[in-house]
Structure 1
Amino acid sequence: MHKGKGMKFVGDSRISAERKPNIPKDYSEYPGRTEAFWPNFLLKEWLAGSVFLVGFLSLTLAHPSPLEGMADPTNASYIPLPDWYFLFLYELLKYDFASGPYVLLGIIIIPGLAFGGLLLAPFLDNGPGRRPHKRPVAVGMMLLALVSCIWLTYESASHVNWEKRAEVNQPIPPSQQVEINKEDPGYAIYKSNCMSCHGEDLQGGSAAPPLVGIDRSADEVAKIAQNGTGQMPPGMFKGSDKELEKLVKFIMSVNKDAK
């Protein structure tokens, strides 16, 4: 179409010339089976996600993650544990049917069937109803998976002494971290007698607690070095009395700086 000099207007038959209001379609013909994505479905998803996020953040603030110290490869008595969201798989491997000669069942076949079943649940139960009693297969499989994960996680966590584990493997808090004077004569004695368990900077290890921030007198530290305590056997210190005095003086000076 020509209008004016050199001006051309080109129309596209695929674009409607009539403007339609931005109103979702009428789904009244399908009651309970479908709904408009915007804003009905999207609003419900947003509300559900917000409630979960607020609850998760509140949980992390109320119960911070238990951090442990640095790994000590020389400690054969330390039992490593996976993170809490893998504890149910860890517990599964303790049962006879999923361990030993049947370990492949525990690490591949059983988890594979469980997760594969959850993926196939929508296809195994594809009825038009949305209420739980109309989707017995999918709802039943989901409840079975949820109960199994909760029970196995509980069973795994109940056999662990978390207080003792945290006490032994707890790293030094930032407020108690101090600079270690490695030129101190007592540090050389500490290095040859205590470093293998308590760490280079007295930060503790997987088998021994930190030596920074302890509430002990000099006599108590000397007795523990000679006689041991808890998991520490006697006779770990193999120096002379003068070396023991230098060691105790070094440890007490570190703790004095940490206060």
Structure 2
Amino acid sequence: MHRGKGMKFVGDSRIKANKERNVPKDYSEYPGRTEAFWPNFLLREWLTGSVFLIGFLILVAAHPSPLEQQADPTNAGYIPLPDWYFLFIYQLLKYQFAGGEYIVIGAIVIPGLAFTALLLAPFLDRAPGRTVNKRPIAVGLMLIGVASTIWLTYESVSEVDYQERGEKYAVDVEAQESEVEIDTEAAGYAAYEANCMQCHGEQLQGSGNNPSLLKTEKSVDEIKDIAVNGIGSMPADMFSGSDEERQQLAEFIKETAKANSGGGSGE
């Protein structure tokens, strides 16, 4: 206070005398075009996502995922495959130094390094430019990641014959849903019940990777030979009985297949 000149207040340095409006920083000094987040940027991102989604739906509708057997918890011979977006990791684990005793490298170390590199890319390459030649680290890491994923996925798909796999693990669903005529009084039914029913089902419809017998094209002699020597994934010496019972079994299977028109991919 100064005498004769009235009263004066000392200003607090923590409070600005002139309050400024909350205006975002001007990024016009950086190269490239600036734009408002709403609605310009958000609308462009939404349109890009919509085009990708529509294209993905068209691809799924044109090439549906191949279906295999119905879920069967009793089938110990079934080899499951991961979904398509994990096939590249599945393929990686097939290589010598990424699987087996080196499983930790393939399952943890390599994917961990890849994701860490992608996470650190924005911090390693902080160039303000948007062009490809001005962002070598970020663009390089992304190209390596995309190329590796596409190549490993292609290699995994090319090694799997999905049509053959579908036929191998196919189950005669029509036979399961409809009543198949089975002559339980036939001479070979007892032999089938004792030797084959556990794998091929009560109605010869198949189970798991064991094919249906309802549409077999094998002759009686061929069926007799398979019962002793096996075929495909079926091991030998599965039949335990006399030669007469084996003859009756083969005739029963052949006659049952002729009497029924159910589908299947039996052997």
2:195 to 188, 193, 196: 193
1:248 to 224, 229, 254: 254
Residues 178 and 254 of structure 1 are in contact (CA less than 8 Å); yes or no, is this contact kept in structure 2? no
1:248 partner amino acid = K
Percent of aligned pairs sharing the same letter: 52
- Find the counterpart in structure 2 of residue 63 from structure 1: 63
Which sections of structure 2, spanning at least 5 residues, go unmatched? 1-25
- Find the counterpart in structure 2 of residue 116 from structure 1: 116
For 2:235 and 2:102, how far apart are their aligned partners in 1? 39
Query: How many pairs were matched up?
Result: 228
For 1:82 and 1:203, how far apart are their aligned partners in 2? 27
- Find the counterpart in structure 2 of residue 222 from structure 1: 220
- Find the counterpart in structure 1 of residue 13 from structure 2: none
1:53-81 deviations in whole A, cap 9, x for unaligned? Answer: 122112112221112224576655x5433
Residues 182 and 203 of structure 2 are in contact (CA less than 8 Å); yes or no, is this contact kept in structure 1? no
Shift of 1:144: 0.3
For 2:36 and 2:84, how far apart are their aligned partners in 1? 39
Shift of 1:129: 2.2
TM norm structure 1: 0.70
Q: How does 1:121-132 map to 2 (within 5 A)?
A: 121-132=121-132
The answer to whether 1:99 aligns with 2:61 is: no
- The structure that has the greater radius of gyration is 2
Residues 124 and 137 of structure 2 are in contact (CA less than 8 Å); yes or no, is this contact kept in structure 1? yes
SS at match of 1:180: coil
Shift of 1:235: 6.1
- Decide whether aligned partners of structure 1 residues 91 and 97 sit closer, same or farther in structure 2, where only a CA change above 3 A counts: same
- Decide whether aligned partners of structure 1 residues 45 and 205 sit closer, same or farther in structure 2, where only a CA change above 3 A counts: farther
1:109-154 deviations in whole A, cap 9, x for unaligned? Answer: 1111111222222232233222322222111111100111111122
2:206 to 204, 207, 217: 204
- Find the counterpart in structure 1 of residue 178 from structure 2: 179
SS at match of 2:261: helix
- Find the counterpart in structure 2 of residue 8 from structure 1: none
For 1:257 and 1:68, how far apart are their aligned partners in 2? 15
SS at match of 1:255: coil
Residues 182 and 188 of structure 1 are in contact (CA less than 8 Å); yes or no, is this contact kept in structure 2? no
RMSD (Å) for aligned C-alpha atoms:
3.6
- Find the counterpart in structure 2 of residue 137 from structure 1: 137
Shift of 1:180: 3.2
SS at match of 2:80: coil
2:195 partner amino acid = N
Residues 72 and 207 of structure 1 are in contact (CA less than 8 Å); yes or no, is this contact kept in structure 2? no
- Decide whether aligned partners of structure 1 residues 225 and 121 sit closer, same or farther in structure 2, where only a CA change above 3 A counts: same
